Amino acid sequence: MLNLLEPFKITGKSILQFLRACIGIFTDNFLYLVRWDGSGDLQKWQVLHQGFPLKIKQSTHQMGLTENYLVLIDTAFKISVEEILPTRPNKKSAQLEKWLRNIFDHPQLKDNTVYIIDRRELLTGKKSVQAKKVTIPREAAHFLVDYRNPDDQITLHLAHVCAWDAAEWVTKFDDASPLDKTGTSPLYGAIAGPMDISKLGCHVINGKTGQFIRENQDILMDKDYTWGAAIYAYRERPFPDRLEDIYWSCLGCWADLKTPHIEHLYNHYPYREVGLEELDEITTQGKPSTLFRLHIAPLDQVAEDENRLSIADGYQFPEGHWVVSPQFIPRPGTEGSTDGYILCVVHSDESAEPQKTNGNELWIFDAADLKSGPQYKLWHEQFNVGFTIHTAWLPQIKKRNASYCIEMRDDYADILNQQSLENKALIQDLFENWVYPKKEPGTEQNR
């Protein structure tokens, strides 16, 4: 054990700090909501449930905002202890990391804990605010909300990433795929594949009572499209009161992303839709990355037993292609939810791309006709990107006109002065020569 701990430079002080941090995971519960108007002081409220501080067991990856409510979800992005420990990249540290992972790692929580906060209760001078707690079955990572909440009805749109873990990825000790000449898996660092089919959900909740409006929640899955539901896109300008069409990208399902560790974590998944034997067959054959448009029918236009959700349009990417980061680009002079384009990042291997690009491209689709395939494919030899996630679209680039500004030296001075003498000189050199002058490596200014 002592040999395994050498990469950490373990000391008595660091052991005590680590043990204290582990105890704090179970005792130091808190969640604060912070509001800022862009110029004044920050406002802060502690979020409570039934008078007690909240315990976030995984993470609050994002929040949703409606006209009267804020929605927070304990989302399926867990943080494992072994992932935050500092290691050195050598054989001993890899052995230690694998050992720690086997002890501390666990599946994502199978259900979503949703906290609803009434924005009208966020009053100046108050120190806390009460939240209503709602449980939605099947874990989720990303979600959206309709801005309008008529009669206090909150509509949530969730990607239920069933038995899929974005906090797990292929590592050098997973033996998930053949090793290359360097001894590293070709997919080292890629997110592990799903252990069940993903689903899309639409859930309507009464913000005052926390009760579901529809007895049967609207859930959709498709064995050709919904594997590894990842990132969404929709028309953001003008911002819709109600989401009518959401574009989802799904990463797909392949054998070389199905690691022994991820199988062990989710073999006993309680909401399993696809049996383990069938999943083995599907994984071996492979499911491609997809891009599709999810249409949500208005609540007042469907019967109680009718599903509001449907896949209105979609595209399956060719073998050897992987899609991420979709972004809706509106067509000028229009307002419709499909009037525009979908731009996404597409990665491919050399054998899958006959044009011999570098495997990093931008594909542009007609948002109203995904099934016709990309209208344009863009690439450049210098466009070499890794795994991208969220995106943003700016209709035009303008100079910053906000008056609020904090001098960088003033902002960092206190924390720099708190560093040990051993680290202070090195950090000070970094800030004086790079951070404060705003220099970047490779520019003429630095040569």
What local confidence, expressed as pLDDT, does residue 440 receive?
A: 78
Supply angle C-alpha 346, 347, 353, rounded to 5: 105
Query: What average pLDDT does the segment 55-62 reach?
Result: 91
Distance CA 44, CA 174 (A): 43
Of 402 and 138, the structure prediction assigns the larger pLDDT to: 138
Query: What average pLDDT does the segment 125-150 reach?
Result: 96
Of 18-27, 147-156, 365-374, which range is least confident?
Answer: 18-27
Of 440 and 4, the structure prediction assigns the larger pLDDT to: 440
What local confidence, expressed as pLDDT, does residue 39 receive?
A: 79
In the three-class reduction of DSSP (H, G, I as helix; E, B as strand; rest coil), residue 255 is classed as helix
**372-377 contact pairs (CB < 8 A, 24+):** 373/315, 375/341, 377/346
Query: What average pLDDT does the segment 333-341 reach?
Result: 96
Of 436 and 84, the structure prediction assigns the larger pLDDT to: 436
What local confidence, expressed as pLDDT, does residue 181 receive?
A: 59
Of 33 and 94, the structure prediction assigns the larger pLDDT to: 33
Look up the pTM and report it: 0.86
Q: Say if residues 321 and 377 touch (Cβ distance below 8 Å).
A: no
Of 359 and 149, the structure prediction assigns the larger pLDDT to: 149
pLDDT > 70 in the chain, percent: 85
Sequence ranges of the domains in the chain: 2-405, 406-447
Supply angle C-alpha 413, 417, 423, rounded to 5: 120
232-270 pLDDT, tens digit each:
999 998 889 999 999 999 999 988 889 888 999 999 999
Of 42 and 10, the structure prediction assigns the larger pLDDT to: 42
Q: Which two tokens stand for residue 300?
A: 């007042």
Strand order of the β-sheet with 290-296 is 229-233, 245-250, 290-296, 309-316
Round the average pLDDT of the chain to a whole number and report it: 87
364-376 pLDDT, tens digit each:
999 999 999 999 9
Distance CA 290, CA 229 (A): 9
What local confidence, expressed as pLDDT, does residue 7 receive?
A: 44
Torsion angle of C-alpha atoms 269, 274, 275, 280, degrees rounded to 10: -110
Of 93 and 196, the structure prediction assigns the larger pLDDT to: 196
Place of tokens 């911002």: 239
What local confidence, expressed as pLDDT, does residue 1 receive?
A: 38
Nearest to 50 by CA among 129, 109, 127, 114: 129
What local confidence, expressed as pLDDT, does residue 58 receive?
A: 92
Question: Has residue 195 got a pLDDT over 90?
Answer: yes
What local confidence, expressed as pLDDT, does residue 365 receive?
A: 98
